[in-house]
Amino acid sequence: MNATTVMVAQGATALGGAVWGLAAQSFGVVPAFLGALGFSVLVDAIFRVVLVPALRMSIDFTQNLTFEPAQVAIFPRNLTPSRLPAPEDGPVLIIAEFHVRPASRSECIDLMRETRDIFLRNGASRWNLHEDLHEPNKFRIGSRGALLEATPVTERAADEERKGGHR
């Protein structure tokens, strides 16, 4: 629901409250209820007589009814599993899992923070670092939308530095 809808609804509620208050004060509560009943019956009659016939239409769902099986594709057209994806193919999910020496743990986490910024700056829509709680110093990276080919040469040097801290 957008703000305009909310504002119109609140304005209509305030206006209706003001009209109801004036009617109840001027004529009494029971006559105000009867007037509201008469008004709603009048609006309902106008709606049923004038608007409903104009809005009636016949929809025949059997004209385009087909029992052909739907086309199912795991891979989009022109994308075979052996071909590397191109940037125009859409987002790519990259998952990497690695172990870190206990002595290099804090350095690795600091480098992963820098890596996150690099991937997000290069177009990844998401980049997460997860640690396996059952196996200490085992990490998993998940990145959506990042392509290795899009990584600039200067940032590949940072990748090489990160690779030195794992086994």
For the chain, give every domain's residue range. 3-55, 89-163
Beta bridge pairs of residue 98: 139
Among 43-47, 74-78, 151-155, top mean pLDDT goes to 43-47
Structure tokens at 125: 């829509």
Sign of torsion over alpha carbons 33, 34, 35, 38: positive
Sheet with 93-99, strands from edge to edge, namely: 93-99, 138-144, 126-131
Residue 151: pLDDT band (50, 70, 90) is very low
pLDDT of 153 > 50? The answer is no
> Distance (Å, rounded) from C-alpha 140 to C-alpha 117?
17
**Across 104-111, average pLDDT:** 88
pLDDT of 123 > 80? The answer is no
Question: pTM for the whole thing?
Answer: 0.37
Residue 167: pLDDT band (50, 70, 90) is very low
42-61 pLDDT, tens digit each: 999 988 888 777 666 666 65
pLDDT value at residue 149: 46
Contact in structure between 142 and 97 (CB atoms under 8 Å): no
What burial class does residue 108 get, using C-beta atoms within 10 Å of its C-beta: 0-12 exposed, 13-18 middle, 19+ buried? buried
pLDDT of 5 > 70? The answer is yes
Domain made up of 89-163: CATH architecture: 2-Layer Sandwich (3.30)
pLDDT value at residue 30: 93
